[in-house]
Amino acid sequence: MDLFNLKGKKAIVTGGVQGLGKGMVEGFCEAGVSVAIWDISDKVEVVAKEFCDKGYDVIGIKVNLGDRKDVEAKFEETLKKFDGKLDILLNNAGVQSRHFCEEFPLEDWDFVMNINLNAVFQLCQLAGRVMIKQGKGKIINLASMLSFFGGYTVPAYAASKGAVAQLTKALSNEWAAKGINVNAMAPGYMATDMNTKLLEDEGRNSEITARIPAHRWGTANDMKGPALFLASAASDYLNGAIIPVDGGYLVR
């Protein structure tokens, strides 16, 4: 299955310390990818060591995605560790803030947009420059169900994820002919820490589960396959796609 062969590839995964990000890091590791986990958490090196102890090639890079200078510096540091090569960029990191629209603090708006959109563009740009020189590369962004819906009390998150979907399309228009595939995954309702309150709300949990044709919430394992597909040669003719990974929620 050479189409899915990722052995020896180099990847950056943001927000890879926990949740969906950690699950996709694991998927890449299992496929033979060398991974740099980027995260603001102090646990990033601990998590990287956990993977290394299992025999995988992983490094942990602590980075503040809200600081453009830090992002650029850590990108150069990672690139040196990868001998100047980068095959895969997975922009997974994201933040959330909930307030009624008329009460939404502007500082929260700026925080969410900066991490969920601005940092994504900066990293795509940095990776794109390397991949253009290589003549190939895979960029995978994390969109959301709120790339399609408006949500409730989450105007900044909805705006940022809608923008990520459009950014993905814009980048693919310019870079597809240069051998770079830029696509996005849109996770549905996932059983992660970000959704703890929803999971604990019996009424909302039941309501959401009833709409999902698969009759269950997603897990980090459900993200592995789509991520591996988008990172591999199997997706070489896929560009600008926003792929729902939602158990069918979107089409219900």
Residue pair 158/141 in contact by the 8 Å Cβ criterion: no
Q: Single out the catalytic residue among 56, 152, 157, 237.
A: 157
Gyration radius of the chain over CA positions: 17
Determine phi and psi for 78, rounding to 5 degrees.
-65, -40
Q: How far is CA 55 from CA 33, 64, 82, 87, in A?
A: 12, 28, 18, 21
Burial (CB count within 10 angstroms: exposed 0-12, middle 13-18, buried 19+), residue 103: exposed
In this structure, how many other beta carbons lie within 10 angstroms of the beta carbon of residue 60? Answer: 23
225 contact partners, CB below 8 Å, separation of at least 6: 27
Answer yes or no: 157 catalytic.
Answer: yes
Instruction: Give the integer Cα–Cα distance in Å for 252 and 202.
Output: 21
Structure tokens that stand for 2 in this block? 């050479």
220 in Cβ contact with 23 (< 8 Å): yes
Give the active site residues.
Answer: 157
